[in-house]
Amino acid sequence: MLIAGHVGYTVGAVWALKALTKSDTSADYRAVAVMALAPDFMDRALFVFALPSAFDARLIAHTLIFQLAILGAITLIRRRWWLYGAASVGHLSLDSTGLSAAWARHMLWPLIGSEWRIIGIMPGSGAVTIPYQNWVWLRIQQALQPYGLAPWWVWLLEAGGALILLAFAYRKSLYQLPRLRRFLAAGEL
């Protein structure tokens, strides 16, 4: 899934959870949005800047074990932050829409095979033989490739996420500039 899908469905889930449980505990929707994309931020950064031996833009942050560790760490820091850890764990299920055996092995690494290549890393390969800035530019282009290759149903799911965000903005009256400003400054109204 791409950006609007991840942010839209995750924000929608937190919004629905708050409505269903009639919870008055505040949730910072800015943090929810960032955490919904956190596995992509982490793995793309590793792929583009740090790991020449990575051959996939989904790496360690796209494994369940890593996500559960993050969830545990965040919850230990502050219990009510579990929601933000859960937003990051939820990223994996949203990435699971064209489920394949290779993706299941990746997500469950190291339970079904512990080789690094399962999570997109080939140790010892991919030395940087061109100037670093050229290499980073090349990696950015490779990391963006999935966006160009996404099939039609991925765009349909993206549209669903975008619609949820529009409904959210409408219900929170974010079309009124002062409310939008307040929302962006505080994450919640």
| Residues making contact with Zn ion (CB under 5 A) | 40, 95
Q: Is 123 exposed, middle or buried (0-12, 13-18, 19+ CB in 10 A)?
A: exposed
CA pair distance 156, 71, nearest whole angstrom: 30
CB of 172 to Zn ion, least distance (A): 27
Q: Residue 171 in 3-state DSSP?
A: helix
Q: Under DSSP, is residue 165 helix (H, G, I), strand (E, B) or coil?
A: helix
Q: How far is the CB of 18 from Zn ion (least distance, A)?
A: 25
CB of 98 to Zn ion, least distance (A): 12
We find the least distance from the C-beta atom of residue 181 to Zn ion, in angstroms, to be 31
Residue 34 · residue 187 · CB < 8 Å:
no
13 or 174, CB closer to Zn ion? 13
Side-chain-side CA neighbours of 175 within 13 Å: the count stands at: 6
Between 59 and 174, whose beta carbon lies closer to Zn ion? 59
Task: Label residue 144 left, alpha or beta by phi (over 0 means left) and psi (-120 to 50 means alpha).
Answer: alpha
Q: What is the DSSP letter of 126?
A: -
Closest separation between CB of residue 10 and Zn ion, Å? 12
CA–CA distances in Å: residue 65 to residues 1, 43, 61: 20, 15, 9
161 vs 174, beta carbon nearer Zn ion: 161
Name the residue nearer to Zn ion (CB basis): 106 or 174. Answer: 106
- Per DSSP, 54 falls in state B
CB closer to Zn ion, 39 vs 183: 39
